[in-house]
Structure 1
């Protein structure tokens, strides 16, 4: 078929089906080329022919051959011939940088995950002088800062804090978690809640109940679970009491006769 766009393809190029097929056959060594699927207008004197690919394992792929010609020429010239995937082709997923592929829990003992110098989640705790790129000056300032007990080289930025808050609030320790929606009360009134210090203290705390699913994890104050410190069982929910042992006074105990 011929793809008619706003401008019809050049007639000479559109008719160069066999020239395009010959280019693919030369590329493949004489095989893997099926029927002609169509011709597509690319530019005034540029046309692309497509052919079915019969190579095993390449279902949905097609050969694409682009041809062109000079305005005064009467034959097509092959520009390129490539194998391309169609809409039904099985292709590898798009490449994703390793830092974006990592998920919480992926790090194993001994693995290192360096943080970039310009990470927006961190800001310098102190300045390193007028020339921060000078390694000697940086090392000297860090040595002095360490001697004075100024603490960490970098600290959490406002952006980094907000990103963490959004992640925690939307996670399993937030108010929308299924565990929280079925809880009898919220974490803010639980005796096992350890509040955070700083600007996040109004929203988050850490669970300290060893029997709870969230033990040792950050939870929102409006989170909750069934292990709340003030939860009480209704009478019908309490276990049936075990009756006292019965002392049999009518039967002789064989052990006493030994």
Structure 2
């Protein structure tokens, strides 16, 4: 066996349709019970428990107990980024399907990717931030640009605090619906938090969609796209 990470093991875990559905159901950054994930996967509870044990063993999920319930969640942003990237490849190379309906259109426009904004709006924001040198992309490295600290300080995001965290501040995440990058990392999370705190958009219960209000969309576009 060649040295290096065991890609085949992770690929086999993600490649099972039931487990793939479970992982996708957790892409909103939330946590679900085994029963809820069984419904998402379309399998019985005993079968779901077997799948969950394998995902736990592969360190793709974490579990927390609360009362009589156990809640499963993605183990971190790296797992979410992997699922998002695989979804992009699948969308590009998979079989042709009928034109998506309104729900799919909403998902393409703006959605949650674990803990940051994804979709058309997020990709456009990423491109604009790079064009204005608020963030800088050098090959695969993404970092805060010369104008970054002042720009984000003016809108109430403290990049010095974000930079002190062990988590990367800026990270490119391949957007499955656009197949170009959007912004992940702690800065991506802070931007999504601001969007929701300002009530520019809301997250419908049980959905990854981020619904912008008309005034909220204008405010977002003025700040991040103009």
Q: Report the TM-score, using the length of structure 1 for normalisation.
A: 0.21
Task: Answer 1 or 2: which has greater strand percent.
Answer: 1
Task: Answer 1 or 2: which has greater helix percent.
Answer: 2
Q: Report the TM-score, using the length of structure 2 for normalisation.
A: 0.23
